[in-house]
Structure 1
């Protein structure tokens, strides 16, 4: 006899278990799931053919191991064979543990002292019904509002129900469902059908069963009940669910009622702006009723807005959609929201209305920041405190004067009632379409808290002379706005524009101050401001000087700026005056090679007026054609 060519480390092919469940494509359950019916039977195990080298026939012993997953090889059955090849073994039921769990199935071939071990086969025993064997919740009726009617069945051909998602839901679970007129059906009730759920159904939590039109009609009209049981792929079946009542009305109803329409704005819900203006210029919230089957002039539309009846609407069969207005009192009957409102309607013909239409759901949010008012939903709320405006220097109520030029103003107000964290106030100024300032309510803020908005000069300067510039604010909770009454502000900031630019009397005809200019650059630069009819004694003129590396007053040089203030005498106001820029080292010397100085002046009148000149520049060049630089110690010009 020759020894086998296998070693202890070689693993032969995995055993097969014909009883393991297979899908429609013949693929085994990846968990090796056994059907419940197999748990009462002996287990058939197929051992694939294996190769062995030998000369003389010797007995082969096949040893079966069945152990909880992860456990060591544990013999439960063995059987000898005289020749190799595929073998079918039937392991007695009493040798196997079929408790709920996952098991490792393997085998070992023994011959002549040689052992061949197989790969491990995972086998799962599932004895637990779906939903932990608890009573399932009742089905959910889909798409049908109220009774199941003749019209609905004719139109849809079926009624769909949804199985509520349950614990441990798995692909290939089934719902076995029943349709009965008995409110307490016996266990012997025969199912109407069953529905298998795919893994996709489970993943989407969308477990749908369907009652066909034929089955519903065959059972007749009246009160019916539908329920179901859950069964998994192994065959474990749970208890029946709670019954769901469903009333079947097979009498033709007057019309096929489409869900009502509530036109919405682009914002997608009803807010105060919608209540004022409508979705698209309807000037109110409206409900539209589309044409239904067989309308009659005697019909009335009974619209239900979240449990509140609107005024009955007479039907004009020639004018669909029928349109009803929802008054503000009805919109706010359940509070300001936010609410998820149900809207439905019935058609009344004679004494008995039809069944309600399907609901339309509409989000409503009419909440506001601040106290409400009698004219709601109007935007303007006169109960909100008005703004009070003060100039930075003049400090006069609702007036801005020339003395306030260039300065921000302050807008004072007191906070509205019951402020909530995160609400905002937005301040508006004149014709500027966007807010110029805002305030967000902070923790601890209370009604009446003084608030101060800063009105930036950039906003004020857009309209400096206006006897009645309006300023106001809005409140916002992120959904709805309220607007306070506007405060008229008297603005009289008079500015003398475009005063003549300063001049440089010692520059040459090309506007250049150079090494040979007189006086020399290191003796200072004189800037002349001409007399002007706008000047008066005691006015203040402030000359601004800025050194630049560019030829035309561009590329300012850091540290070379200065302001020179002159309080005018009567003669200076009339005849003009010079300003001597004398700090050579800081203000002049940095301009070495074709630099410049940019100058302008600002007028502050003694009576409060202001003015500004045009800017002007002078070229400053301390570089000789040879490349040398003139200075107090390097003056090569002839005296």
Structure 2
């Protein structure tokens, strides 16, 4: 049913609650009852979804949606609004600067055509305070261990249990992130052991227990150690480290119980080039990691073999497990680029006598690339890859885009590299756009040196239309490893003159209205005036676009009631302006019967290739007299009493 006027000042909510996608959800997908936001969500504007609504209004009224964000119990206060012309689900926001700590009531108001409706409110909680009010937590309490943590204790029980003291504002889903270190002043980069989440049952029983397994303790070696933890709530607020709990770990007796070597892999689960160069200037980022073994000693050396190729001996520091040894690129590629499974093992040498090898670890390796390899591998930039060539769709100039190329895709050309394999891809990147704007997949039958083509969409080009050296580059990708070609600088000089003054309607009077009494009559001509402009020059072309509309303000275009009028400018017209007469009355003017309008704008095409466009303007056209009669070329019914400010000519 239509919304009545008594809804103009709503007091009772009728619309659905807004939705906030960022609100935390439990393992069953249920939202936090408090509408709790993760800490990460308050670092930017908060996305708010306004559900679809329905109205019975036919006319295209604008819909204004106002977002209210207030502390619970406060009255509706707008913090953001947007205007829409159609119903439907909408995405709005709460500005980031409003997301202070607290519990809020989120709602929205829908206003249209003098009417307004209010939504039900949604509770949203912004929690910026770490657990225990951000204070330094008390130290852990070790349970069941009478003194030092001994090798015998770990062998018999396999774990050590510790208790977190109760603290202020303890809630279910709080977590303790716990650590064991040999550093009495641990750095913030200290790796954690793991995390323990606390349930409501843990809280009710007042027993916040964490478990540290024997392997974690043995892995950190023999000697003076320190347990500590940090608290983190469900929202992600993380507090400072606790007071340290000092413990002595006594793991004394010959090297033994050697675990297989560990080789951290890439996100693809193998050794690839990205992993080989990650984070290391010397491009030796593949590591073999050795976990703690029985009875380590500072005189020990670890002898690692990668596919039977020996690495440099690794000194043992019993306090720094896991030990880590880099694998040089020359060793990684000594048996080819793969794909292969590399075999990795190690022995412990003490006093010159090595132990039997640890169990072998097999590591998948694929260092192949699409295109030629290069001397600087595994660096991504390969200077031997061919250069891109870019041409404008109209200008056809090498690595240059001009104004005459406006609105058109650009063409890219590249000589295909040697030994192309089907399924390999080439991705083309344009300027500051982080994702590829074009790609090519190698097909059966493609051969080295053939010319492949790319089409760079206008949507990418228009993001940076004036740049004398816009970088354009490409990558080759064999679905495992990526190579990067050097950038081609492209001179983009697409200059568009915007916001030229709108056309005017000199016969429309002060009210901007052309009616039955207009002089000249509607069926004789409608004059559109374009002012002279410094941007105009002789031989430029101005194209006026006329669009008839049902609405009085240039809205609701009438299909077919449209025309373009081109004028090649003389010097006089360029400086002093000119008129365009619309004389096709039956097609272009007559359809605007009852307070319709004509919407006009013009486009500039300069003789030197430049382009421009004007603002839009409309004039009201009304052929209906107050009596209800329609005027026309065969029914000039205007009387002087109806003439107000229409100029006489």
Check whether TM > 0.5: yes
2:358 corresponds to: 357
Q: Does the residue aligned with 1:427 lie in a helix, a strand or coil?
A: strand
2:474 corresponds to: 473
Please list the CA deviations of residues 438-474 of structure 1 after superposition, one character each: whole Å capped at 9, or x if unmatched: 1122221111111221222222222222111111111
1:113 corresponds to: none
Partners of 1:412 and 1:486 in 2: how far apart?
14
The answer to whether the Cα contact below 8 Å between 1:438 and 1:453 also exists between their aligned partners in 2 is: yes
Distance 1:596-1:443 versus aligned 2 partners, 3 A rule: farther
2:635 corresponds to: 634
Partners of 2:612 and 2:372 in 1: how far apart?
46
The answer to whether the Cα contact below 8 Å between 2:266 and 2:272 also exists between their aligned partners in 1 is: no
Residue 156 (structure 1) shift: 13
Residue 421 (structure 1) shift: 1.5
Q: Does the residue aligned with 1:523 lie in a helix, a strand or coil?
A: coil
Say whether 1:342 aligns with 2:317: no
Residue 371 (structure 1) shift: 1.5
The answer to whether the Cα contact below 8 Å between 2:528 and 2:579 also exists between their aligned partners in 1 is: yes
Residue 424 (structure 1) shift: 1.4
1:369 corresponds to: 370
2:68 corresponds to: none
Residue 605 (structure 1) shift: 1.6
Distance 1:635-1:383 versus aligned 2 partners, 3 A rule: same
Partners of 2:280 and 2:486 in 1: how far apart?
26
Q: Does the residue aligned with 1:572 lie in a helix, a strand or coil?
A: helix
Please list the CA deviations of residues 320-365 of structure 1 after superposition, one character each: whole Å capped at 9, or x if unmatched: 2221111112222333233333332221224442222233343322
Q: Does the residue aligned with 2:520 lie in a helix, a strand or coil?
A: coil
Partners of 1:359 and 1:351 in 2: how far apart?
22
Q: Does the residue aligned with 1:472 lie in a helix, a strand or coil?
A: strand
Partners of 1:442 and 1:300 in 2: how far apart?
51
Bigger mean CA offset, 584-593 vs 623-632: 623-632
TM-score where L is the length of structure 1: 0.58
2:546 corresponds to: 545
Bigger mean CA offset, 394-403 vs 260-269: 260-269
The answer to whether the Cα contact below 8 Å between 2:283 and 2:329 also exists between their aligned partners in 1 is: no
The answer to whether the Cα contact below 8 Å between 1:253 and 1:354 also exists between their aligned partners in 2 is: no
2:144 corresponds to: none
Please list the CA deviations of residues 40-97 of structure 1 after superposition, one character each: whole Å capped at 9, or x if unmatched: xxxxxxxxxxxxxxxxxxxxxxxxxxxxxxxxxxxxxxxxxxxxxxxxxxxxxxxxxx
Aligned positions of 1:254-265 closer than 5 A: 254-265=255-266
1:529 corresponds to: 530
**Please, what is the CA RMSD of the aligned residues?**
2.7
Partners of 2:638 and 2:306 in 1: how far apart?
98
Please list the CA deviations of residues 379-407 of structure 1 after superposition, one character each: whole Å capped at 9, or x if unmatched: 11111111111122222211222222222
1:561 corresponds to: 562
Residue 279 (structure 1) shift: 10
Residue 497 (structure 1) shift: 2.1
1:309 corresponds to: 310
Aligned positions of 1:204-353 closer than 5 A: 254-277=255-278, 284-353=285-354
Residue 558 (structure 1) shift: 2.2
Partners of 2:285 and 2:488 in 1: how far apart?
29
Aligned positions of 1:76-475 closer than 5 A: 254-277=255-278, 284-475=285-476
Q: Does the residue aligned with 1:522 lie in a helix, a strand or coil?
A: coil
Partners of 2:374 and 2:435 in 1: how far apart?
25
1:596 corresponds to: 597
Residue 491 (structure 1) shift: 1.9
Q: Does the residue aligned with 1:389 lie in a helix, a strand or coil?
A: strand
Residue 486 (structure 1) shift: 0.4
2:612 corresponds to: 611
The answer to whether the Cα contact below 8 Å between 1:265 and 1:280 also exists between their aligned partners in 2 is: no
Distance 1:432-1:527 versus aligned 2 partners, 3 A rule: same
Partners of 1:259 and 1:448 in 2: how far apart?
47
Q: Does the residue aligned with 1:521 lie in a helix, a strand or coil?
A: coil
The answer to whether the Cα contact below 8 Å between 1:278 and 1:286 also exists between their aligned partners in 2 is: no
The answer to whether the Cα contact below 8 Å between 2:498 and 2:612 also exists between their aligned partners in 1 is: yes
Residue 282 (structure 1) shift: 9.2
The answer to whether the Cα contact below 8 Å between 1:263 and 1:279 also exists between their aligned partners in 2 is: no
Partners of 1:271 and 1:594 in 2: how far apart?
70
Q: Does the residue aligned with 2:587 lie in a helix, a strand or coil?
A: helix
Q: Does the residue aligned with 1:291 lie in a helix, a strand or coil?
A: coil
Please list the CA deviations of residues 502-558 of structure 1 after superposition, one character each: whole Å capped at 9, or x if unmatched: 111111322222232222222232211001111111111111222222332223222
Larger gyration radius, structure 1 or structure 2? 1
Residue 269 (structure 1) shift: 2.7
Distance 1:506-1:446 versus aligned 2 partners, 3 A rule: same
The answer to whether the Cα contact below 8 Å between 1:279 and 1:285 also exists between their aligned partners in 2 is: no
Residue 281 (structure 1) shift: 12
Partners of 2:343 and 2:597 in 1: how far apart?
76
Listed as ranges, the gaps of 5+ residues in structure 1 are: 1-150, 158-251
Q: Does the residue aligned with 1:505 lie in a helix, a strand or coil?
A: coil
Partners of 2:257 and 2:326 in 1: how far apart?
23
Partners of 2:588 and 2:396 in 1: how far apart?
38
Please list the CA deviations of residues 162-195 of structure 1 after superposition, one character each: whole Å capped at 9, or x if unmatched: xxxxxxxxxxxxxxxxxxxxxxxxxxxxxxxxxx
Please list the CA deviations of residues 274-309 of structure 1 after superposition, one character each: whole Å capped at 9, or x if unmatched: 111159999611111122122223322121223332
Residue 621 (structure 1) shift: 2.5
Partners of 1:261 and 1:405 in 2: how far apart?
56
Partners of 2:612 and 2:428 in 1: how far apart?
29
Distance 1:543-1:457 versus aligned 2 partners, 3 A rule: same
2:205 corresponds to: none
1:85 corresponds to: none
2:218 corresponds to: none
Residue 253 (structure 1) shift: 5.6
Partners of 1:504 and 1:452 in 2: how far apart?
49
1:487 corresponds to: 488
Bigger mean CA offset, 378-387 vs 516-525: 516-525
